[in-house]
Structure 1
Amino acid sequence: MPNHRVPRDLRETETETSLAELCGDSARMAPHWAAPPAAAAAPVPPSSIHGVVVPRASARLVGSMTEYGD
C-alpha cells in the first residue's frame, strides 16, 4: 500500500485560508459563473403520460392529503 503522507516541511509552507477569505473569493468569482435562466416547464397533458405505475397504498396516501386530493 503506498504511503500518501506529506512531509512536515511541505505542510508548514502551506498557508491557512480563513473562512472569510474563502467567502470573499467566492463572492468575487460568482459573476463569472452565472447560469442561464431556467426555462419554465410546459404543462404535460395526462394523455401523454405512459408507463407510470404507482402502488395502490401510495396513491391512497397522496389522495388523502388535503393539499393533493380530497
Structure 2
Amino acid sequence: MTKLDASVPAPVDLEGDLASLRGDCARMVPHWSAPDRHAARPVPPSLIHGVTVPPRSARLLDAMSDYGD
C-alpha cells in the first residue's frame, strides 16, 4: 500500500479573509501561465473518418437524455 504524504507545504490560514486570499492569488500570478486563446473552429464531417462506435454504445447514448432532461 502506498503511503501518501498529507503534509501541507505552506501554513494554511483558515481564518483568512477575502483580502488575504486576493493577496495570495496576486503573489501566485507570476507562477501561472495561460495558453493563448484560439477560437475553436468546427471540423467538417468530411474530415472525420475511421471512427466506429459499437451498436451497444450507440444505443446507450441514444437513450440518454440531453443535459439531464
Give the TM-score normalised by structure 1.
0.50
Which segment drifts farther, 32-41 or 56-65? 32-41
1:19-65: CA deviation from partner (whole Å, max 9, x where unpaired): 23xx78852122x1231343222101112111111111111111122
Structure 1 spans left out of the alignment, 5+ residues: 1-15
- Compared CA separation, residues 64 and 58, structure 1 to 2 (3 A): same
State the structure with more CA Rg. 1
CA RMSD of aligned residues (A): 3.0
Question: Are residue 40 (structure 1) and residue 39 (structure 2) matched?
Answer: yes
Corresponding residue of 1:18: 11
Structure 1 stretches (4+) deviating beyond 3 angstroms? 23-26
State the identity %.
Answer: 48
Aligned to 2:56: 57
The runs of 5 or more residues in structure 2 that have no matched partner are 1-8, 14-20
Equivalent AA in structure 1 for residue 11 of structure 2? S
Taking structure 2 as the reference length, the TM-score comes to 0.51
Higher relative contact order (CA 8 A, sep 6+): 1
How many residues are aligned here? 50
